[in-house]
Structure 1
């Protein structure tokens, strides 16, 4: 049902791009998503392993390889591939692992590690990747990224310190944050659709190319995660590397890059959720073979 809702929001954004006027809200909706994710984060130090850092390096490496492989053929497509692949582990990844009865702590640490490291390094990297005439510098990106990431973290910690009862009520509302993602996907799709209608009517083939590249990145990262995790953490590592915080890169793409670049993270939302739904379906069939 949730995947269908995401597909509906993408479809509405394509055909009714009235949300392009409100893309500035994407950042604040992202902060709300991060706030809910930070409410009950706990790190078990005993679960930290070398595999977490291999996942992190693989994430960054795959982003640069995608960019470098495509850049000689299409600069915009290469930028889109980079911003799609560089997204850190999704807020919902530990939830999926819990549904599969896996080791939630493993994926949770990847969530924290990748989000923090990617937040730190992106202000250095993005100006080089964008390489446009807009003169976007490290300082232009650093403050917005740090504020966007640190504000919800500080607020979540303050709520828990000040009022445990309010903290518990907010945790009960955490599942409802999915609908914030739905709104973000609609706004991002609207912005991209509006830009394409007014500036890229003769280059619609680029949209199909972005879709194909995004599907390949999605399949590669989920598969690579299985190999990194090995027998003990195959599912956990696959989820940590493949399931992405697309709201984060949607905001980055819409704020600092060409509006078409946002299609990468938008397509990724659809592909990753389709894969996860199928994966959960087959997992439940495996657990209940008599059904």
Structure 2
């Protein structure tokens, strides 16, 4: 058991950078397999990952708090503020920046936050709240700032199956098969390895998208990637500052900083200038470097203690 724990601890430190490298190198085969399966690999992995995580959470533990309120307020106000601040400079960059803030918390954030010591119930509650609020708020923002009409039904169809269904399945398992739920809860680290597999697929698709871009302004591309990096760091920092006031800096940081970039890329390509999707595409890389550093730092702290 000590050997397994040692391996798990050391694998966590390098796992996400290695997953990104593997995804980038195998981008063509990954994209081909994703196409053959009807884009179902990532949703299936996310469903399983959340199912394992939600088996640890009781509905009675899930209570909205003032932290959730301030996180949602920051996100909804900041996405509009960032858009209007950058609009005079470049409309495409403004759209890309806005989508990096508007995107709801990543469904995998519950997994990573749990590894970093955050309260899983707090993260699970915010994950449900944030995705539902953004499903209501995003159609207004995207219709106003973009070139196409976005509806609540379109957003809900993208969000609900991968959020509500694994939660419902996990609670059903807890009540009907409590022994199985306990085993799953005791082996919740499996969700991290499911996340790594999904990260490989996401990075593979992301790399293929970037390679297939034709005729794009390189200056705008670099500006979008740079803005995504700045916003990534700022949101992690702002989230941690808010979370610290309510006793859970890690939950705050992951809630604001770790984004559902798959949804963000879809929103940008569907309702904004498609080139703006480079920003959330780059955000995928930046947020996983931040997560890797946080896991490394957390592991060093555990060894010292």
TM-score normalised over the length of structure 1: 0.80
Residue 280 of structure 1: CA displacement?
1.9
Partner residue in 2 for 1:216 = 230
Given the superposition, is the C-alpha separation of residues 287 and 45 from structure 1 closer, same or farther in structure 2, using an over 3 Å criterion?
closer
Aligned residues: 278
Residue 260 (str. 1) matches residue 275 (str. 2): yes
Residue 237 (str. 1) matches residue 247 (str. 2): no
State how far apart, in whole Å, the 2-side matches of 1:26 and 1:188 are: 17
Point out where structure 1 has 5 or more consecutive residues left out of the alignment: none
Deviations 1:163-222 (A, max 9, x none): 859x8699976442542343233223323432x3x222xx21112111110111011111
Partner residue in 1 for 2:125 = 109
Given the alignment, which residue of 266, 272, 282 partners 2:287?
A: 272
State how far apart, in whole Å, the 1-side matches of 2:92 and 2:29 are: 22
Residue 78 of structure 1: CA displacement?
0.6
Given the superposition, is the C-alpha separation of residues 282 and 155 from structure 1 closer, same or farther in structure 2, using an over 3 Å criterion?
closer
> Root-mean-square deviation (CA), in Å?
3.3
Residue 95 (str. 1) matches residue 105 (str. 2): no
Partners of 2:103 and 2:264 within 8 A in 1: yes
Partner residue in 2 for 1:150 = 160
Partners of 2:62 and 2:125 within 8 A in 1: no
Given the alignment, which residue of 34, 50, 57 partners 2:73?
A: 57
Partner residue in 2 for 1:36 = 48
Given the superposition, is the C-alpha separation of residues 85 and 12 from structure 1 closer, same or farther in structure 2, using an over 3 Å criterion?
farther
Partner residue in 2 for 1:77 = 93
Residue 100 of structure 1: CA displacement?
2.6
TM-score normalised over the length of structure 2: 0.77
Deviations 1:10-34 (A, max 9, x none): 4665xx6994997898975554355
Stretch deviating more after TM superposition (53-62 or 35-44): 35-44
Stretch deviating more after TM superposition (30-39 or 252-261): 30-39
Residue 287 (str. 1) matches residue 302 (str. 2): yes
State how far apart, in whole Å, the 2-side matches of 1:48 and 1:153 are: 17
Point out where structure 2 has 5 or more consecutive residues left out of the alignment: 1-14
Matched residue of 1:121: which SS?
helix
Partner residue in 1 for 2:262 = 247
Matched residue of 2:259: which SS?
coil
